[in-house]
Amino acid sequence: MTFAIIRDISENDHEPILFINEESVEFLSPLTQHSFRSLQREAAYRRGVEIEGRIVAFLLAFREGANYQSANYRWFAERYSRFLYVDRIVVDRRYQRSGLGRLLYADLFKFAYESESERITCEFDIDPPNEASQRFHASYTFRMIGTQKLNSGKIVAMQELEVAALR
């Protein structure tokens, strides 16, 4: 039987993280060793799912006040004084639709509640559409609070979920 372990990301995880990020890069920004180290240092939540000794999914989230220049993060920072922003949740293609994203979100929700976050925020592409992410977030009753057009030409749906609604 294969067990999934949720744990903090370490230096040894960079190679598999960069690989699975690249698999889904059409929905994410690319990562290099350097950019990932920077994100990892700033992230309040940086955890992954390990199966058979290898990270096969990960989630990075940032609190208010992070030194993070993402246009999407800044959009939320301009509107909220307290929030937890999901920058990326990525699952290795071999494990998609196996519940690993839900495991990470359950762990993130616990973290958000325990750290007294008021809301969890995120975005997903609506032009071109990322239908899997749209369905995934709708199942948690995230609500759209706006849209944003990025320099790349993509349009994203800005989402929020109040932590109080998780209890």
Question: Could you report the per-residue pLDDT of 108-120, keeping only the tens digit for each?
Answer: 999 999 999 999 9
The pair of three-digit structure tokens given for residue 153, joined into one six-digit string: 């030409």
CB 67 within 8 A of CB 73: no
Global pTM value? 0.92
- φ, ψ (nearest 5 deg) of residue 4: -100, 130
Q: What structural domains does the chain harbor?
A: 4-166 (3.40.630.30)
The pair of three-digit structure tokens given for residue 125, joined into one six-digit string: 């592409």
Query: Tens digits of per-residue pLDDT, 70-93?
Result: 999 999 999 999 999 999 999 999
- Count CA atoms within 13 Å of residue 96 on its CB side: 12
Average pLDDT, stretch 122-144?
A: 91
